[in-house]
């Protein structure tokens, strides 16, 4: 009997989760918009603004840099990269329901620089060929170049939009595909015109949106408390759902079904809060040292999923477009989930170190993969092989040292 009750409860929970998965997945500032279609179909439910104002004062007391300032700054509307892209997923380029669904999943996998990063946990039920066919249409979206896998493909996307001269177009394609041997094109006809055009390209493609990252709204707050740290959910953007059935016959099949839908909706919101809170607690447990100045340590989605009794794909969706705020700043939740490069070092920490090396390198003499390897081994006291550095560099859409030298020359 007990086993049967547990299975029934688990089945109900899974059904609710599947039914309201968009509520789990969506960013906090889009919650109200996501809930409205459900509310419109239910005559017994009203969506009321969250009257909480105390949470802003509460959190402003926690931090010297007030979280209320972060939220207040978000009121000054500035369209994000993801809003810009989402607004363009229409019937013109994505006529079918399936193509729209894939396009929206692709947007989830576009990083802050505008490059696409494949995620197995996102494209469940779709083949790579299906995704690639839809991603190809991102060449026609704005900002031009977003959705490409690397800077070369981004340049091709931008070239399609900005060049209407066939001869210059063909030469630009050759140059883009052969940046490492750019010198062989200097005597070609239209070389100057091609280079003048290439200098206008954006790299990274979403560069004008990158300054907006601090306007994101944290979903989880981690703060110091009596010598330790605690986690709290930012429920400022969670609207209240009010069920009004006064004077209504609840025994009616229609009414009872709508009441059940409303209660499922409330359960889904609570499930979202509960799941994010548990993820926050797990992050504290796994990444305790990070909140006191240490590096992010290896942490896998499947470990959290097992502890929470969830599927890894569910956790992957739960952390998409979500952010954690602590005294170390605001960071995407996905930054805490990284495979191990060594027992006590995550590849996220290594990638961050690699990025800083590239940002501060001598442009006249860019660092080779061997030089980067030596610096990383010295910094983290670990042993790696050069191909690992090459893999990380490519994952970060960073060109080779010779290609970067050519790019620096183009940028002046």
Angle of the 347-359 helix axis to the 369-380 helix axis, nearest 10: 130
Residue 367's pLDDT is 92
**Mean pLDDT of the 391-397 span:** 79
Tell me the per-residue pLDDT of 123-179, one tens digit each, with 9 for 90 and over.
888 999 999 999 999 999 999 899 999 888 999 998 887 887 888 899 999 998 887
Half-sphere exposure of 382 (CA within 13 A, CB side): 18
Q: List the strands of the sheet with 220-225, edge to edge.
A: 228-233, 220-225, 323-326, 329-332
Residue 62 banded pLDDT, cuts 50, 70, 90? very low
Tell me the per-residue pLDDT of 324-372, one tens digit each, with 9 for 90 and over.
888 877 788 877 875 544 445 667 778 888 988 999 999 888 998 889 9
Would residue 381 be called left, alpha or beta, if left means φ above 0 and alpha means ψ between -120 and 50 degrees? left
Residue ranges covered by each domain of the chain = 2-69+216-336, 81-209, 340-411
Residue 57's pLDDT is 36
Chain-centre distance of CA 4, in angstroms?
Answer: 39
| Residue 399 Cα distances to 113, 153, 293, 309, angstroms | 14, 12, 30, 41
**Mean pLDDT of the 29-48 span:** 79
Q: What DSSP designation does 299 have? A: B
Angle at the Cα of 211 (from 57 to 203), degrees rounded to 5? 160
CA distance 211 to 337: 24
Phi, psi of 166 (to 5 degrees): -60, -45
Single out the residue of 287, 332, 282, 322 nearest to residue 304, CA to CA. 282
Whether the Cβ atoms of residue 147 and residue 139 lie closer than 8 Å to each other: yes
Whether the Cβ atoms of residue 279 and residue 220 lie closer than 8 Å to each other: yes
Statement: 340-411 belongs to CATH 3.30.70: no
Residue 345's pLDDT is 61
pLDDT at residue 207 is higher than 50: yes
Residue 95's pLDDT is 92
> Helices marked H in 53-206 — which ranges?
54-62, 67-75, 81-86, 97-108, 128-135, 151-162, 166-177, 191-198
| Residue 353 Cα distances to 192, 207, 296, 376, 396, angstroms | 36, 21, 12, 8, 12
- Token readout for 223 is 């703060």
């Amino acid at each position: 009997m007990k086993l049967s009750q547990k299975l029934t409860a688990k089945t109900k929970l899974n059904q609710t989760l599947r039914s309201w998965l968009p509520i789990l997945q969506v960013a906090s500032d889009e919650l109200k918009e996501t809930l409205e279609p459900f509310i419109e179909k239910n005559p017994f439910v009203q969506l009321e603004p969250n009257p909480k104002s105390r949470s802003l004062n509460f959190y402003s007391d926690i931090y010297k840099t007030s979280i209320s300032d972060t939220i207040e700054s978000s009121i000054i509307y500035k369209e994000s990269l993801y809003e810009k892209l989402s607004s363009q997923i229409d019937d013109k380029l994505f006529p079918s329901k399936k193509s729209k669904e894939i396009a929206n999943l692709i947007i989830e996998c576009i990083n802050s620089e505008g490059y696409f990063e494949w995620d197995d946990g996102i494209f469940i039920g779709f083949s790579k060929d299906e995704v690639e066919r839809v991603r190809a249409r991102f060449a026609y979206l704005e900002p031009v170049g977003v959705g490409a896998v690397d800077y070369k493909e981004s340049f091709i996307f931008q070239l399609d939009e900005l060049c209407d001269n066939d001869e210059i177009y063909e030469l630009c394609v050759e140059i883009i595909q052969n940046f490492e041997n750019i010198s062989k094109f200097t005597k070609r006809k239209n070389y100057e015109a091609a280079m003048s055009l290439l200098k206008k390209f954006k790299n990274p493609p979403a560069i004008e949106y990158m300054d907006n990252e601090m306007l994101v709204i944290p979903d989880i707050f981690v703060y110091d408390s009596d010598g330790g740290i605690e986690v709290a959910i930012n429920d400022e953007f969670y609207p209240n759902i009010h069920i009004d059935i006064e004077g209504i016959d609840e025994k009616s099949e229609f009414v009872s079904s709508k009441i059940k839908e409303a209660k499922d909706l409330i359960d889904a919101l609570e499930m979202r809060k509960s799941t994010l809170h548990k993820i926050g607690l797990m992050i504290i447990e796994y990444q305790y040292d990070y909140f006191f100045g240490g590096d992010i340590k290896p942490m896998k989605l499947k470990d959290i999923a097992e502890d929470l009794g969830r599927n890894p794909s569910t956790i992957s969706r739960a952390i998409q477009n979500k952010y954690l705020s602590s005294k170390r700043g605001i960071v995407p939740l996905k930054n805490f989930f990284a495979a191990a490069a060594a027992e006590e070092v995550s590849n996220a920490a290594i990638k961050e170190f690699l990025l800083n090396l590239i940002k501060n390198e001598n442009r006249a003499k860019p660092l080779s993969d061997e030089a980067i390897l030596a610096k990383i081994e010295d910094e983290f006291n670990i042993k790696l092989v050069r191909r690992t550095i090459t893999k990380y560099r490519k994952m970060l859409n960073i060109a080779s040292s010779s290609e970067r030298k050519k790019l620096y020359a183009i940028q002046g």
